[in-house]
Amino acid sequence: MYRVTREITFCYGHRLLYYEGKCRHLHGHNGRAVLTLEAEELDRQGMVMDFARIKQVVQTWIDKNLDHRMLLHKDDPVLPELRRQGEPVFVMEVNPTAENIARLIYDYAAAQGFPVSEVRLWETESCYATYAR
């Protein structure tokens, strides 16, 4: 099995519903998404996938949808106020935990036809969550 991995950094804010710790308040992270793609066979160029293509597709989407935005649960009561003030938000069906953000990026990459095997989302220097098939 061949694997290639690309890192994409972005900044995001969030807060967690149904949670008692510090993360129940609005705050931000310098996140690092680490995407791994895998293939049994290499393509004609001898690659699983061109690193530049991963960047072009996934980083472009992250820059547009997640970077410098508040990632919030759809039921978060702060949403209407942030929208009223024109703050950039990204609304999720689920709590915006590192686990769910990893899944979000995984699903996007998979939907683009990428042979993604896992996405690891580093929320801090010492904590990450992984979603893998």
Q: Between residues 16 and 54, which has the closer beta carbon with respect to Zn ion?
A: 16
Q: Which stretch binds Zn ion (CB under 5 A): 23-31, 58-66, 82-90, 105-113?
A: 23-31
Cβ 9 to Zn ion, closest distance in Å?
A: 16
Q: Does 129 interact with Zn ion (rule: CB under 5 A)?
A: no
Q: Does 23 interact with Zn ion (rule: CB under 5 A)?
A: yes
Cβ 1 to Zn ion, closest distance in Å?
A: 33
Question: CB pairs under 8 A, 24+ apart, for 67-72?
Answer: 67/10, 67/11, 67/12, 68/10, 68/11, 68/12, 69/12, 69/13, 70/12, 70/13, 70/14, 70/26, 71/12, 71/13, 71/14, 71/96, 71/101, 72/14, 72/15, 72/96
